[in-house]
């Protein structure tokens, strides 16, 4: 991972630990509940970061969904070509800005589930 001279936590550490082979594609479900009334702010911040993220060479999918019955609950579906691609992604300025928005709007902890391709 790149140097984190600002001593930011390594947000990819639990993802790295879940991967059998960090050079292979994987997916993630990122669940977030936002404070009531913060839905539009979160969606706007995500939309701005998504434009740049979708230009990254290692991203295979980056889509935000909201729960139809609970408008403050969101799920981000991400697919990455490799862990190295995700590690580069989290260092991008538009993603560090998005992390700041998460801090401002989150109504609880962010949950991350790593998904690996099922063996056929």
Looking at residue 120, what is its pLDDT?
53
Enumerate domains of the chain plus CATH numbers. 25-115 (3.30.70.100)
Average pLDDT over residues 73-96: 97
User: Strand, coil or helix: what is 120?
Assistant: coil
Q: Grade residue 119 by pLDDT with cuts at 50, 70 and 90.
A: confident
The CA distances from residue 102 to 28, 58, 64, 99, in Å, are: 17, 23, 14, 5
Question: How does DSSP classify residue 54?
Answer: T
Average pLDDT over residues 19-37: 96
Full-model pTM: 0.88
Q: Grade residue 3 by pLDDT with cuts at 50, 70 and 90.
A: very low
């Amino acid at each position: 991972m790149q140097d984190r001279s600002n001593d930011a936590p390594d947000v990819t550490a639990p993802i790295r630990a879940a991967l059998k082979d960090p050079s292979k594609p994987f997916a993630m479900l990122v669940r977030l509940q936002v404070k009531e009334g913060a839905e539009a702010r979160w969606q706007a911040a995500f939309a701005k970061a998504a434009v740049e993220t979708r230009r990254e060479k290692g991203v295979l999918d980056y889509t935000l969904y909201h729960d139809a019955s609970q408008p403050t609950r969101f799920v981000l579906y991400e697919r990455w070509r490799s862990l190295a691609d995700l590690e580069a992604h989290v260092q991008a300025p538009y993603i560090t800005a998005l992390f700041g928005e998460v801090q401002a709007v989150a109504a609880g902890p962010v949950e991350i589930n790593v998904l690996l391709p099922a063996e056929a």
